[in-house]
Chains A and B, each alone.
Chain A
Amino acid sequence: MTNSLQALLQKLPEPNSDTGDWLERLRSDALKIISSRDYPSTKEESWKYTSLHDLRKNDYLIADERNTGALLKKPYSRDDFLEADKLHLVFINGFFQPNLSTDELLENGIKIRPTKTKKADEKCNLETILKADLSETFSALNILTLCDSLLIEVEKNRKIEKVIKLILIGESSEPLLKSLRIIVKMNENSHARVVEEYRSHDKDAGLTNVVTNLRLGQNSTLFHHRLQMESMNTTHIGKIDAQVDSGASLYSDSIVMGSKLSRVDIDVSLSGRAAYCRLNGLFTGINDQHIDHHTTIRHLVGETHSDELYRGILDDNSRGIFNGKVVVSADAQKISARQASNNLLLSKLAEIDTKPELEIYADDVKCAHGATVGQLDETALFYLRSRGLSYKDARALLIYAFAEKVIESIPLPALRQLLENKFLGHNQMSEFIQQG
């Protein structure tokens, strides 16, 4: 009997490896890799807590440009997305929408280009980047069913002042598989801020499968904020693969509030001396949401540093998973790695599985990790209520207080405010903080 992954693959046209097109060649390789596989099962260690049962049951339609027309909402206009000081790029059902996006795609020093052209790009070496994670089922599937991809390349020595915001919307009345690829290439000594914002129509019940490849050249800095707020019926599979060269710094946040099932894998290689990464995460679960983060930080050489802070807030029957792996290579001396996973359970039925995993092959290292699981502080709740806050407001404020440690580290005021709103409604705390 064909399994559900194979059933999906049968809907694809055969890749044509004879055309000499490298992307077709890559598709053909990808197909070879997964042609005998099924979706990962809970028997695999890294999928132990996350069952893809629902995903198997669904008969997904592979997104193509025709079904971007099947929108649930009235047509958008560019004005719906305009924000000051931002370059915005809109994708609907997997496909780039030039009419809705910023028209200044070629600012000074920045190349933002949907990689529709399937020609090899020698300078950027896309083929090598896309090949890197082909062995993983969802990455191979991503290549095989790719809708659009986007390459953002920042020129050497450039600091991009405007925030580059990608808005990726799921809007289909059908269960659509949308595969997206985002590549950010930071050339030497460049600086940029990128937001990936996933949203969807309330009724969207699709599957998003997106891979983000981040390549940080020497002494470059990238702020990368991934915000997942899809509807509660969707499945979201995300992967970030990052390589950080010497002296470069990656600040990457994963914020998950949406989807019925969300799985984000983050794999960062610190490959040059004084490379740094900070991975922060914040996730909130309600109802029967299932939110899984698997992160891996590889200290490949000495004098590399990492910080990681994940905070999870789980209510109702929701379940969270945080698996934080840190690998220190044999010669990677004088590295430091700090990891913290703090979790707040708001209901007796909510569950968190948090697990640090350290693989250390060097001897002169500083590694620290800690995990906590707690509940709302009853005394603090009483304190706020005795001051006049309703139970609901006091509870919301304490939940916000827990999330704040991650929120305050985000250097984008608009994003901080959006998160504040999610927790506190429209009473803005920031208006007081800015006064100070």
Chain B
Amino acid sequence: MLEISDLHVDVDGKEILSGINLTVKPGETHAIMGPNGSGKSTLSHVIAGREGYTVSQGEIVFNGKSLVDLEPEERAGEGVFLAFQYPIEIAGVNNVYMLKAALNGIRNYRGEKELTSVEFLKLVKSKVKAVGLDESLLNRQVNSGFSGGEKKRNEIFQLSVLEPMLAVLDETDSGLDIDALKAVSDGVNKLRDASRSFMVITHYQRLLDYIVPDYVHVLAKGKIIKTGDKELARTLESKGYDWLTDGQESAA
């Protein structure tokens, strides 16, 4: 589904990613871990197509199609979704309106018929319970005045409505208390199936207790330095990253 090969990315003329190789198959969940400044968020943004992230070398191929030259909305149309670490507050814009515009944007891109408001509201009502979103949040302004937990739940709610093939979750656990973390993880787990893939970017192993990954990758200084299964995350939790980045095992 997603094939990243020898990906080099510059931000403001500085190389942040230095040769990433990563393959995500349908239905798989990959966790990306690593210390601050290792390039985790850059990876998520470059997949979603944020301006200012320049691919100087390498490829990002999604279902056989290169994403590198596509606009963010075209990538959404292809089936890519990025859950933001800090979801943007847009006062003055109704949450459901924004989401309808998004879904119809994607449907337009795919040459599908736009949903009417009635059809859309029906869809929304069916999804809202699945992620445990308080229905009153629907008609509020986009993320405006939402608590940290509500914002993240709103991201997952958007994910459930837009039904991407690949969802990149950028530090979705940051700023969440344990109840919110469980609720958000439940929402994500309900959306996991044999065809949808997830890339979960996180600092902490805690999230991976709830969203159990198939693979764990450790990113450091712009490169994947180690790949393992969920046990690798536990090792990192107890040992930290130093034993990997220093190239030597600690005496634990």
Contacts and interface: CB of A to CB of B under 8 A. Distances in A.
A100 to B, nearest CB: 34
Contact of A397 (B49, B82, B98): B98
B105 A389 contact: yes
Interface in B89-109: 90-94, 96-106, 108-109
Contacts of B96: 432
Given A380-B88, A385-B71, A389-B102, A401 B76 contact: no
A432 B94 contact: yes
A382 B51 contact: yes
Nearest to A398: B90
B92 A404 contact: yes
B170 to A, nearest CB: 11
A384 B103 CA distance: 11
B103 A432 contact: no
A383 interface: yes
Chain A binding surface, main DSSP class: helix
Chain B binding surface, main DSSP class: helix
A433 interface: yes
Interface in B120-164: 121, 136, 138-140, 158, 162
B92 A400 contact: yes
A386 B96 CA distance: 16
A432 B73 contact: no
A338 to B, nearest CB: 19
B210 interface: no
Interface string A391-413: 10110011011111100100000
A435 B122 CA distance: 13
A91 B177 CA distance: 63
A389 B98 CA distance: 9
Given A382-B50, A382-B72, A401-B92, A388 B105 contact: yes
Contacts of B51: 378, 382
Nearest to A379: B88
B97 A432 contact: yes
B76 A386 contact: yes
Contacts, number: 104
A379 B45 CA distance: 11
A388 B84 contact: no
Given A380-B88, A383-B84, A435 B73 contact: no
A11 B84 CA distance: 67
Contacts of A391: 71, 73
A208 B140 CA distance: 41
B139 A380 contact: no
Nearest to A431: B117
A435 B92 contact: no
Contacts of B77: 388
B103 A386 contact: no
Interface in A409-429: 427, 429
Contacts of A385: 49, 71-73, 76
B94 A389 contact: no
Output the residue of A377, A393, A398 with the most chain B CB within 10 A.
Answer: A393
A408 B102 CA distance: 23
A432 B48 contact: no
Interface string B175-192: 000000000000000000
B91 to A, nearest CB: 6
Contacts of A390: 73, 105, 108
A387 interface: yes
Contacts of B94: 429, 432-433
A374 interface: no
A386 B72 CA distance: 5
A436 interface: yes
Contacts of A433: 94, 139
Given A386-B48, A386-B82, A402 B138 contact: no
B9 to A, nearest CB: 16
Nearest to A401: B92
Nearest to B143: A383
Interface string A299-311: 0000000000000
Contact of B109 (A388, A402, A404): A388
A435 B121 contact: yes
A408 B93 CA distance: 11
A382 B48 CA distance: 9
Nearest to A435: B139
A388 B139 CA distance: 20
Nearest to A436: B139
A384 B98 contact: yes
A312 to B, nearest CB: 16
Given A397-B98, A435-B121, A402 B92 contact: yes
Contacts of A382: 48, 50-51, 72
B76 A393 contact: no
Nearest to B120: A432
B87 interface: yes
A419 to B, nearest CB: 12
A348 to B, nearest CB: 17
A182 to B, nearest CB: 31
Output the residue of A384, A386, A390, A398 with the most chain B CB within 10 A.
Answer: A386
B107 to A, nearest CB: 8
A378 B45 CA distance: 14
Given A386-B75, A388-B77, A432 B139 contact: yes
Contacts of A402: 92
Nearest to A377: B88
Contacts of B98: 384, 387, 389, 397
A383 B138 CA distance: 18
Nearest to B106: A388
Nearest to B89: A380
A400 to B, nearest CB: 7
A184 B76 CA distance: 54
Nearest to A385: B72
8 contacts: A382-B50, A387-B81, A387-B102, A387-B162, A388-B76, A389-B98, A390-B73, A433-B94
Given A382-B51, A383-B84, A389-B102, 8 more contacts: A377-B88, A383-B87, A386-B76, A387-B81, A397-B90, A429-B97, A431-B117, A432-B139
Closest 8 CB pairs of A and B: A436-B139, A404-B92, A401-B92, A387-B102, A388-B105, A385-B72, A388-B76, A388-B106
